[in-house]
Structure formats: structure tokens, C-alpha cells
A and B are shown apart, each in its own frame.
Chain A
Amino acid sequence: MKKVLSVLVLLLVCAVTYAGGYRVSLQGQKSLAMGHTGVAVVNSAELAFFNPAGLIHLENKLNISVGGFGVFSDVAYQNTQFGTSAQTESPVGTPVYLYASYKVSEKFALGLAVYTPYGSTVEYPTDWSGSHLVNSIELSSIYVQPLFSWEVVEGRFSIGGGPILAIGSVNFNRNLTRNLTDIDGNRSNVTIDAAGITEFGYSVSAMLNIDNQDKWKLGFNYRSQIDVQVEAGDGEAVFANIPNSPLAPIANGTFDFTASLPLPAEWTWGLSYKPNDKWLFAFDYNYAEWSAYDSLDLNFLAADGSVALESINPRNYKDASTIRFGMQYSPMDKLDLRVGYYFDESPVQDGFFAPETPRNDSDGFTAGLSFNVSEKLAIDASFLYLKFKEVDASYDAFLESDGTPAPFAGTYKSSAVVAGLGLSYKL
């Protein structure tokens, strides 16, 4: 264990971070280590996220999984035409989770899931060449979800699900234009900040024991779209370094704003095969309805409630899929070893590559292990290396104030390493 820990420390030393997109698929150590599969895997309380229908199949009455991740990731940008470059100095992202299930009867279990499925933290150097699109963004969400799991057909078929309470917050700073400054050359910028926005959604799931021998399982999970709506009064937008002129787009000061950001619906189908106690194979397919993210539109409101300034930011995302594979090998009772791979398709379309979510297609390589301290307690660890190709991309939807398009183009290269630790407890 010491060696593993020292590796973790080593990873911490390279304090670079990346958080592309804003779906953060880090919902469990055991799952991540197997390519973030788990819809058809009956393994631990992590099912509360992946497939609550499976919770009833856990052997123990009480199951708890808790853990967190360190996301070390960054993105570099350069433009060979103009010689501009930048690299994010993003802080370490720390998604966490807590899952619990309790068997009320042989056929019925209740559960609770707390997790952070969406979030993004990207910090570029202030006033970098893309600062009219983003200087920094910190987007986070916490989902709290009470769950049920009901075995409808004994040994064969179960369903599950529950309502979701989503708590979202956002902090975002960008410069107003490519060159507007106050009299001393300080770039005019806006910071929007809203926290504790609550919305509701739900998830439903099902699990089928195909061969009735617990070798082949089929799983399905659907999590609904949740729109985080910021209404007037929910947050504030602070404009700074605006020149003192009625010709400026807006004045310095604090404004109410409205905005809406979708946390898209996600469908997952999964298949698992457990030939014996030593081996487990899993396959998941995710389909995320990213097309809901059409445009990020903000309205900044004057004191009388009228729109003082609007900001239209087309995103034009497309629905995107992820294909996941994972396997587990248990050489002894004390130890489970896991590896996995996934291919993550980017929802970003050509010409809409915004540096606030600089995400292109990626390959995820995962590994991990569980050390079963006792019958009841296991320590889980997982690692993810997300491999991105260097990509030439542009965001073409930015318009100058006179309506002339001013594409922001360049080459992006992202990197991400994630390390996680967690505990599983069963009683």
C-alpha cells in the first residue's frame, strides 16, 4: 500500500489540471477502474449511481461506498499564425460520491446517492488571447437522490430509481470583448456568480439476469435532463473596468442576470459476464443528449428588470456516445484487480470548439484495485489516464459588436490524470 500511496503523491506533484466538457464520469472507484462501467455489474453500493435496480441484488443488508478523486488536468492552446499560446493553471478538481443501500426486505431495498456528475474548472491566464470567451470557469453540481430497488421477478428482473435534487453553482469570468479597456488599459470583464441553484430530475433503471445463474446480466439506466435555471436574484454579475461612457455596452457595477444551462439526459445500456469468482467482464454504452446544449444565453438586467445587455453564445452540441470496457480479476480474497478502457466521443461540433470546454474525443485507460481489509471493509483505488489527440479547432460563433464574425482558432492539447480513493463497507 505504501507504494501505491507514494505513487499518488507523485501524481500530486505535477499540479496541472484539466477539466474538459462538463460531464465528469467519476462516480465510483470500482467502476472507474473498469472503464467506468457498472450498469450491469453487481459489485457494491456504487450501483446507486449506475443502476439502482441492482441494489437489491447485493448480498448484504447494508452497503456503503464513499470516495473521491483528484483530477489533475490541463489544456494548452497555441496559434501558429499569431504566435499566441496559453496553458491553463487549473486547480485540482475533487469530485466525490457517497452511496448507501439498505435492504428493507428480500425484494425491496432503499438507497441514497450523493454524487457530482457535472462540473468543470478551467483557469486560463487572465487576458490570454481567448479571454473574450473565457478567463476562468468553475461549474459544479451535486446530485442528491433517494432510491428504491425492487426485484419484480425473483432472480430475474428488478427495477429501481428515484427523484434527483440537483444543486448547481457557477462562477465564470471573461472579458467583454477582444479589446475593450478602461482608460488605463485594464480589460473590461464580467464575472457571473450563482450558487445553490436547486432543480429536480429523476433516474430510472432496470436489471435483467439473463441466464438465471448470475453469469450474464443486462442493465439499463436513464437519468433525466435537468436544466439549471438562474433567475433574477439567484446570482450576480459584476462588470469591471468598463470605460466611463454611455457608448460602452454596459456600466461598471453589479447586475442581476438570467441564464440556463442544461445537464443533459444520459442513457446507459450495459452487459456483464462473470464466468467464475475470479473473473468479471463488463461493457457499457452511454448516450448523452448533449444536443440540449444549443446556446448559452445570458441576459443582464438593469435595476428596472429590463435587459441591459444580452450575451448569446451558441454551443450547438450534438448527442454523444461513450463505449466502455472493463474487467476484474480477483487472485485472492483480499485483492481485486481491475483495468478498463473507454472511448469518449466529444459533443462539440466543428466550429464550436469553445475554450471553456475544450473537449475533443478521448481514450480513457483505467486501472485500479480493491484491498479487502476484512469481510466488511475494502479500500478501493482507481486511476484514469485520459489521452487526447492534439486538435486544430475553432470557435466561429463569436461576433464583434458590428456583427462581423471573429473566429477564435488554434491548436489545443489536453491532458488528464485522475487518481481516486474510496472505502466500501458492507454489513
Chain B
Amino acid sequence: MKKFIKYIAIPVVAFGFVACEPEFDTPIDDGTFYTSGEADFSNYVALGNSLTAGFADSALYITGQENSYPNIMAQQFALAGGGDFSQPLMNDNLGGLLLGGNQITQNRFVLATDENGNPGPAILAGMPTTDVGNVLSGNFNNMGVPGAKSFHLVAPGYGNVAGVPTGQANPYYARFASSPDATVLGDAIAQNPTFFSLWIGNNDILGYATSGGSGVDQTGNFDPTTYGSNDITDPNVFASVYEQQVSTLVGTGAQGALVNLPDVTSIPFFTTVPAQAIPLDAATAATLNAAFGAYNTQVLPGLAQFGVITPAEAAARQINFAEGANFVTMQDDDLTDISAIIQGPPFNLDPITAGVLATLRQATASDLVPLTAAGVLGTQNEETFNLLTSLGVPAEQAAQQSINGVTVPLADQFVLSTTEQARITTAQQAYNATIQELASNLDLAYVDARAALQQVASGGTSFNGGVLTSTFVTGGAFSLDGVHPTPRGYALTANTIIDAVNTQYGSTIPNVDLGDYATITLSNDVN
């Protein structure tokens, strides 16, 4: 009896051990399937601005941070020796910031429907709970600071809570700066990173771009402390601080990836609202042409004749409407301001008309109208309407003279003119040359985010389950602020950087599946 049981028991025990766990021939999670090559991902620190922080929908919030490209990369790095990745998480998914209990930044956008069921971005309702004064302790691998420009990463006091109300400090960095006079770079270095990524410089041109070029091109001014928030940073200033940052990071023995700056024309903030946005019928077009007749045929040729403006400017300033879609009218502060001279003889125009004509021109297909103008175009400008009616202009006529983008030219902030775009491109190319040269000289991974986003903007990037495009709301790549990516857009960013890192260091980090990442967030819990 015992003998027989032995015969049964031995194979059964063998069965048990063989079949307990389903085991792959080459399991991917045993730490050897994917390799880090010459890189060491054990302590990855990411430096940058809002893009690095995971900012989206005009706010920073927890789920956005969880889908930041550094966090996505860190999860993939973990397959090949990568360590934990900590982030200065916000307190909620509303995204607004408090300072001393008062809300200082608005909540995030969500896609809501109006009473007619039409979808559109709206601000998520609720009282935010993230107070800037509640400073977090500890190190954070994600050193992305929304709003930071290149020189801010080395500016002491940029994380001083006391400086937030005056605009001297950044509320996001104030939340996790190691001390009031710490620098972002210093806090990053203190973590002894083995690997870093640096994506900075976007805001050195983006503020100028999103404000429709209302800032100043500071090229030639080497003192960034004198810059306004919408100014373009001097390329030499950029090169100097960028080189300082990279050499400091490399000086610790860390390897890393440098990410270049995409074109502003790749983002839906500038590609959603067409410059040719004003639909007119034949009668209205004729009336308007009559109203601008004297400007076209007398004022402009006259000014050209006097040498106030060049004949080319006179030609560029012609206003003409036709039946169908028309280009908006706009104030272009790169044109000659004629408001004073046309109030005198021989034109003798009234101040209001002179104000309209001051730097007036009609937009062309090359001008970019920012998303912020979407709600303004074609609407009645109440300020102008009220002014005109108070001066005794009949309501009907006043209304006709108060149409935004037609009789009330768009303010400078609502159009990024070709001239302004050229300034941005010049600076961007200079920055990118610096970034590429440094990457090459120091044998760092060079990430061409510009090319990746161009691909998304011009035809799209395919993934398992669709095509990622930059179309606003529906394209999948960009969040509802039109500037920052969605989680899926950040996943594409992570893949782009991973590819460059693999190429540079011979590592085999896998991409993520873009289809697993969300796009825009739906909610009708809005104000």
C-alpha cells in the first residue's frame, strides 16, 4: 500500500511545483529584459516648466501630475533599474491655488455642455484646497515649475512664499522649494540625480506669443530682472543660463536628455480661430467698405504722400470686405501710429475715429488669432457702443460701429502678427541651436520635441486605436487650454524622449501605449 502511494505522490509533488505559477520563458518584469544601456535611471530628476509639471487645462491638478511625461517615463524606467519618482502633488483635482485662503489661480477647464447640449470648455466648480503657504517637505524628482522661464531655474527666491503676492516668486515652486532662497537647479542637484531631463525655454517665447505679442522682444537686453512676463528672452541670456544648468547637472556625473522647443504654430491655441473669421453678407460688406472708403482712398495715400508711412504700409493697411468670410481688422503695434496726425489738417478726424485707425490693418492668412479671441470676434464691443450712443449716435449705427474684429479692430493681444511670429521664431531657433549644440558637445540625448509636435499638427501621429492630432478638443493631443498636452499628448512626449534616450544610451526602455492615456476630461460640474 505504502509503496503504491509513493508512486503516486512523487509525480504529484512534481506537478505542483511545475504548475504553481505561470512563468514566461522571458519574463519582462525580472529586471533584465529591458536594459538601461550606458544610462543609470535609479534617480531620475526632471527639470522644466508647466510641461514638465504635468500642467493641463490651465491648471495643475493631481491626475494631470500623475500623467506628466516625467512620471510616465519613470514608470517605464522602473523596468530597467529606475527608482521611485516623487512629485509635489497638488491637493485636489480642481487645480486652483490659494494664498492665505484666497484663490489666486483659477480652477481647471473641463469639457461641459451648455443648455443646448453644445460642448465647450468651462471652469470646473469648487473651492480649491491647495494653499501655496502649505509648503511641502522632502525631495521631489519632478522639479517642473509652471510658468518658469529659463533664467528662473537659477534665480534665488523664486520659491519664496513671501514673494508670491508681488509676483517676485512662483506660487508653484513656493509649495516645494527647500528654502525661501533656494533655486530650482540647486534643489535638483541636491538630490544627486543619476539621470535628468531638462525642458526649459518654452515660456521665454510663449508668454509673448499667447499675449499676441503684447510684450517686448528683449533681444539685446542682457538683464532678465528687467523683463516683463510677456517678453522674449534674449537668446544670449538663454544660452548663458541654459549652459549653466546643463553643466551643473552634468557636473554631478548625471546623464540626461535635453528637449528642444516646439513651434508655437503647432499648438491649437493659435490654430483654432481662423484669421478669416468674419462672415458678412453683400449689403453689410458694401456698407462697411463705404465707411472705410475715405480711409482707403484719402487717408492712407495722403499719409504716404506726406512720407508719414511708406507706400508699402499704405497698401498693407487697406481695409476691404466682401461677401463671405472676411479677415478680421486689428491693431498692429508694429505699424505707424497715425492717430495724432490724422486729427490735424487736412484730415481733421474726431478722436474716436482716429483711435480706431491708429494702427489699423486687416489681418492676413499669416496672422495667428489666439484661442482667447474666440469669444470676442464678431460680438458687440459694449464699451464702444456705450461711448457712441452717449455721444448721440443712433443705436443702429452705433451697433454697426461696435463689432469686434470689424469696426472695432482686435486689440494687439488678440492677434499674433507675422512680424511678431518672426521674432518668436528667431529666438526659438537660437534657443534650439543652443540646446542641440550642448546635447551634442556633452553627449546627452537630444529630443526633437519640435519635430514630434509638427507631426501631430500636420497630419497626426498614429497609435493603436487612432490618430493623435492638434485639433482643439477633438484631436486628443491638447488639453482645453490649447497650449498644454492631454495625458495622451504627454504620453507621446514621454515616448519621444524615451526614443531619444534609447538612441543615445543604448537602453531598451519600451514606449507606452498612447491609447491607454486619456484626452480631455468631461464634466458638467461647472460654474
- State the Cβ distance, A186 to closest chain B Cβ, in Å: 10
Digit string of A343-378 for contact with B (CB within 8 Å is 1, else 0)?
000000000000000000000010111000000000
- Give every chain A residue within 8 A of B33 (Cβ-Cβ): 80
Q: Is the CB of A83 within 8 A of B510?
A: yes
Q: Which of A185, A337, A390, A415 contacts B20 (CB 8 A)?
A: A415
Contact partners of B29 in chain A: CB under 8 A: 78, 85
Report the stretch among B6-14, B160-168, B373-381, B400-408 that lies at the interface: B6-14
Of the residues A72, A81, A400, contact of B515 by C-beta under 8 Å = A400
Q: When the two chains form their complex, are residues A385 and B19 in contact, meaning their CB atoms are under 8 A apart? A: yes
CB distance from A189 to the nearest CB of B (A): 14
Digitize B384-408: 1 where CB-to-A-CB distance is under 8 Å, 0 elsewhere.
0000000000000000000000000
A391 → chain B closest CB, angstroms: 11
Name B33's closest neighbour in chain A (CB-CB): A80
**Contact residue among B1, B9, B525 (Cβ-Cβ distance under 8 Å from A183):** B525
- Residue of B with least CB distance to A368: B8
Interface: B34 (CB within 8 A) = yes
Closest residue of B by beta carbon distance from A6: B9
B 496-527 binary contact with A (CB < 8 Å = 1; else 0): 00000000000001111101111101111100
CA distance A237 to B28 in the complex (A): 36
* A243 & B521 in contact (Cβ 8 Å cutoff): yes
How many A-B Cβ pairs are below 8 Å?
161
In the complex, what's the smallest C-beta–C-beta distance from A141 to chain B, in angstroms? 25
Q: Are A390 and B113 also in contact (CB < 8 A) when A80-B33, A82-B510 are?
A: no
B22 and A18: CB pair below 8 A? yes
CA distance A132 to B327 in the complex (A): 46
Nearest-neighbour CB distance to chain A for B115, whole angstroms, equals: 11
**Which residues of chain A from 220 to 255 have any CB-CB distance to chain B below 8 Å in the complex?**
243-248
The yes or no answer to B223 lying at the interface (CB within 8 A) is no
CB atoms of B76 and A180 under 8 A apart:
no
In the complex, which residue of chain A has the Cβ closest to the Cβ of B126? A183
| A4 at interface, CB cutoff 8 A | yes
Which residues in A have their C-beta under 8 angstroms from that of B513?
Answer: 81-82, 84, 129
Task: Find A75's partner among B18, B22, B464, B509 (CB 8 Å cutoff).
Answer: B22
Nearest B residue (CB) for A84: B513
**Pair A178/B21 contact, Cβ less than 8 Å:** no
A7 on the interface (CB 8 Å rule)?
Answer: yes
Measured CB to CB, the nearest residue on chain B to A371 is B1
Residues of B in contact, count (CB < 8 Å):
58
CA distance A350 to B79 in the complex (A): 29
Q: Are B464 and A245 in contact (CB under 8 A)?
A: no
Indicate whether B143 reaches chain A with its CB closer than 8 angstroms: no
Interface pair A178/B93, CB less than 8 Å apart: no
Contact between A76 and B110 (Cβ–Cβ < 8 Å)?
no
Complex alpha-carbon distance, A4 and B11, angstroms? 11
- Given A83-B76, A181-B63, A367-B8, verify A247-B518 contact (CB < 8 Å): no
A11 — which chain B residues lie within 8 A by C-beta? 12, 16
Q: Any chain B CB within 8 A of the CB of A407?
A: yes
Contact of B383 with A by CB under 8 A: no
Q: Does B135 contact A (CB under 8 A)?
A: no
Is the beta-carbon distance between A247 and B515 smaller than 8 angstroms? no
Interface string of B61-95 (1 = CB under 8 A from A): 01100100000000010010000000000000100
Q: Which of A7, A383, A405 has the most CB of B within 10 A?
A: A7
- Verify B25–A417 contact, CB threshold 8 A: no
Shortest Cβ gap from A291 to chain B (Å): 28
Whether the Cβ atoms of A83 and B22 lie closer than 8 Å is no
| A72, B19: Cα distance in complex, Å | 9
Q: A243-B521, A337-B8 are in contact. Are A183 and B124 (CB under 8 A)?
A: yes
The answer, yes or no, to whether B117 is at the interface (CB within 8 Å) is yes
**A402 interface residue (CB < 8 Å to B):** yes
Contact among B12, B19, B110, B522 with A7 in the assembled complex (CB-CB below 8 Å): B12
Interface membership of chain A positions 180-206, coded 1 if the CB is closer than 8 angstroms to chain B and 0 otherwise? 110111000000000000000000000
> Which residues of A are found within 8 Å of B11, using beta-carbon distances?
367
A413 touching B119, Cβ below 8 Å: no
Q: In chain A between 239 and 274, which residues have their CB closer than 8 angstroms to a CB of chain B?
A: 243-248
A303 at interface (Cβ–Cβ under 8 A)?
A: no
Q: Can you name the residue of chain A whose Cβ is closest to the Cβ of B486? A: A179
Question: CB-nearest residue of chain B relative to A14?
Answer: B20
Instruction: Check A413 against B22 for contact (C-beta < 8 Å).
Output: yes
B148 at the binding interface (Cβ < 8 Å): no
Cα(A411)–Cα(B29), bound, Å: 13
Provide the residues of chain A in CB contact with B6, threshold 8 Å: 3
Partner of B28, one of A83, A383, A386: A83
Task: Beyond the given A129-B513, A413-B22, A417-B19, please list 4 additional residue pairs across the A-B interface where CB-CB is below 8 A.
Answer: A16-B22, A83-B28, A247-B111, A337-B4
Nearest 9 A-B pairs (CB), nearest first?
A: A406-B465, A14-B20, A245-B522, A185-B63, A83-B510, A179-B518, A385-B15, A415-B22, A76-B22
A and B contact pairs by CB, cutoff 8 A, 24 listed: A7-B12, A10-B13, A14-B20, A80-B33, A82-B512, A83-B28, A83-B79, A83-B509, A84-B513, A87-B22, A179-B516, A179-B517, A180-B518, A183-B521, A185-B93, A246-B113, A247-B522, A334-B1, A367-B11, A383-B15, A407-B464, A413-B24, A414-B22, A415-B19
Report A's interface with B, CB cutoff 8 A: 1, 3-4, 7, 10-11, 14, 16, 18, 72, 74-76, 78-85, 87, 129, 178-181, 183-185, 243-248, 331, 334-335, 337, 365, 367-369, 383, 385-388, 390, 400, 402, 404-407, 411, 413-417
